[in-house]
A and B are shown apart, each in its own frame.
Chain A
Amino acid sequence: MKGVLTKAQERFSETAIDDEIVVMNLDTGDFFSLEGTARAAWLLIDGTRDLAAIITALAEQFGAPGDVVAADVELFVGELGRAGLVVSG
């Protein structure tokens, strides 16, 4: 996904429970939980960063190589995009 990433707020509900974030797709009723790097990536999708910026921020946050982080984040963001929960522009 290219461009700044933004959450499609009208498509989901979310809540924090302990160290996890639960997100429910309001179109399908499917819900999933985010923890660790997925949770951190979700929080970084705030309408100010593109994918590269999110990868850089996560690599710094977790002290991991950027290429290692990139594969997981691209996969995760791609899934969010296909679910309609995140859009790029």
Chain B
Amino acid sequence: MQPKVMTHPAMDLMARETRWQLGCVPHALGGIAVEPGYRIIAEGQFLLRCESGYGYHYVPGIGITVERPAGGDPAEEALWLNGSVYAAVACLNGLYPLHASAVAFQGAVYAFTGPSGAGKSTLVTGLGQRGFPLFCDDTLLLDLSDPTQAIALPGHKRLKLTDHALALTGTSRQEPVGADTGKSYVEPPGGVIGEPLPLACLIFLEERPTPAWEAIAGAERFARLADDHYTQALYGEAQRPDLAGLFRLRARLAQQVAMARLIRPLSPQGFAASLDLAEWQLRSQNKEQVA
């Protein structure tokens, strides 16, 4: 008798809803024309038309239709599919996105967030070299169906690094990410995690001369959750929360998830110091709380 494989409803849902097939996508949704280079969420669906000719149309219960132009770049196709389209599908199915790269340690997720270029992917790569498996890169999805905890879903299992980050971490590049991103894929040096785990801490990356790790307390934890990343916009368009609903969501996360800031100068020495600090904090979680 085969053992029953335990799965998580949100992961099953994403696996189901991100099935894709080649086809033609519409040029309008909800009566609104979508020009190349634009996207829309309407009528519970998502439509993205790229300037390259790629198109992606998601319909709940059916999956994703990918329109592939003649001579389409497979790297670009995968980039959109695993990025914006993936995030849109998640948001339309009630999952909450954070702009973060994360590692796992002792059954919990530690997510590093900051604006693009802050060094999230670089940091989790460095932590991977110190034994922390990758949980996700760039977008962290939360399943909030359990009111008592925020469950993070594991993301795509590859890192995307710039040439500078490759040099800083000493990792080997694989194929280019494509679409002129200037990044290359990298195998996570610490392995990957494939199961959902509770989100333990959200760490904000900041640049200042002196490395430090500081807990974030009080109302700042609420304020920090306001983010202008495109995934937040997708969530807003998909779920259309009113202000009260958005407040409740952020209040819940502020209360349930510890937060801290990791401060370091953007230099090779600063990178090493930030790894030391992050590793020490994560490994000491058994003994005391971060925040």
Q: Are A22 and B248 in contact (CB under 8 A)?
A: no
Among the stretches B121-129, B146-154, B216-224, B228-236, the one at the interface with A is B216-224
Q: Are A18 and B222 in contact (CB under 8 A)?
A: no
The listed residue (B218, B221, B247, B254) touching A13 by CB distance below 8 A is: B247
Q: Are A29 and B243 in contact (CB under 8 A)?
A: yes
Chain B residues with CB under 8 A of A18? 217-218, 221
Chain A residues with CB under 8 A of B5? none
The answer to the question of B251 belonging to the interface, with a C-beta cut-off of 8 Å to chain A, is: yes
Q: Are A13 and B222 in contact (CB under 8 A)?
A: no
The answer to the question of A31 belonging to the interface, with a C-beta cut-off of 8 Å to chain B, is: yes
Interface residue tally of chain B, by bracket? 10 to 19
Interface residue tally of chain A, by bracket? 10 to 19
The answer to the question of B70 belonging to the interface, with a C-beta cut-off of 8 Å to chain A, is: no
Q: Are B218 and A15 in contact (CB under 8 A)?
A: no
Instruction: State A18–B221 Cα separation when bound (angstroms).
Output: 10
Closest to B255 in A: A17
CB-defined interface of B238-265 with A at 8 Å, one 1/0 digit per residue? 0000011001100100110000000000
Q: Are A19 and B218 in contact (CB under 8 A)?
A: yes
CB-defined interface of A7-51 with B at 8 Å, one 1/0 digit per residue? 000000101111110101010010101010000000000000000
The listed residue (B218, B222, B251, B254) touching A35 by CB distance below 8 A is: B218
Q: Are A26 and B251 in contact (CB under 8 A)?
A: no
Q: Are A17 and B243 in contact (CB under 8 A)?
A: no
The listed residue (A26, A29, A31) touching B222 by CB distance below 8 A is: A31
The listed residue (A19, A22, A29) touching B251 by CB distance below 8 A is: A22
The listed residue (A20, A24, A26) touching B218 by CB distance below 8 A is: A20
Instruction: State A26–B247 Cα separation when bound (angstroms).
Output: 9
The listed residue (B217, B243, B251) touching A15 by CB distance below 8 A is: B251
Q: Are B243 and A22 in contact (CB under 8 A)?
A: no
Distance in Å: Cβ of A6 to nearest Cβ of chain B: 19
Q: List 15 A-B contacts (CB under 8 A).
A: A13-B251, A15-B247, A15-B248, A16-B255, A17-B218, A17-B221, A17-B222, A17-B254, A18-B218, A20-B219, A26-B244, A29-B243, A31-B222, A33-B218, A33-B219
* Given A13-B248, A17-B254, A33-B222, 8 new contacts (CB under 8 A): A13-B243, A15-B251, A17-B222, A18-B221, A20-B219, A22-B254, A24-B247, A35-B218
6 smallest A-B Cβ distances: which pairs? A33-B219, A15-B251, A20-B218, A13-B247, A18-B218, A20-B219
User: Which residues of B are at the interface with A, using a C-beta cutoff of 8 A?
Assistant: 217-219, 221-223, 243-244, 247-248, 251, 254-255
